[in-house]
Amino acid sequence: MSSSDSASFMHHIIYLSWATAPFTNAQLQSLLALARRRNAELAVTGILLYGNERFVQVLEGEQEVVKELYAHIRQDARHDNFITFADKPILQRSFKDWAMAFQPVAAQQFDDVVGYLGSPIAPLHVAALSYYDSRLFDLLRSFVQP
């Protein structure tokens, strides 16, 4: 494991955003290819879900890198109405093998994920994964694991 996996540097951001226009499968594949290349270069891992013209994404890596990447994403004209659910230190990566796991999801599944995320007004402040975080990551992993 690289030094970027040390607890003092690891961070994750979980957010929801609305697409400014519906994405076609070709557009999603193009976005995914670019994200995977960039994330591999930046040592960022995570997951991206798309459904109901919305994105849920988990970005994890070194704090400064993740925050800069999120700031860049927030400037992307293809997204708006961002809601940040978590922006905090973590002890280890939850998606360490995925430069960017991706799954398009059905409308009801996407609504279930967003509902499970809960309120962004109640931020999580613990460094280790809480029970809430563990359940969230189990749910998100279920979309990309066989």
pLDDT tens-digit readout, 108-123? 665 665 565 554 444 4
pLDDT at 4: 43
DSSP secondary structure letters along 9-45: TEEEEEEEEEESSPPPHHHHHHHHHHHHHHHHHHT-E
Q: Report the top-level CATH class of 3-141.
A: alpha beta
* pTM for this entry: 0.70
pLDDT at 60: 93
Check pLDDT > 50 for residue 5.
no
Give the residue extent of every domain in the chain. 3-141
pLDDT at 125: 37
The phi, psi pair for 39, rounded to 5°, reads -65, -40
Check pLDDT > 50 for residue 2.
no
Residue 133: band (very low, low, confident or very high) from pLDDT cuts 50, 70, 90: low
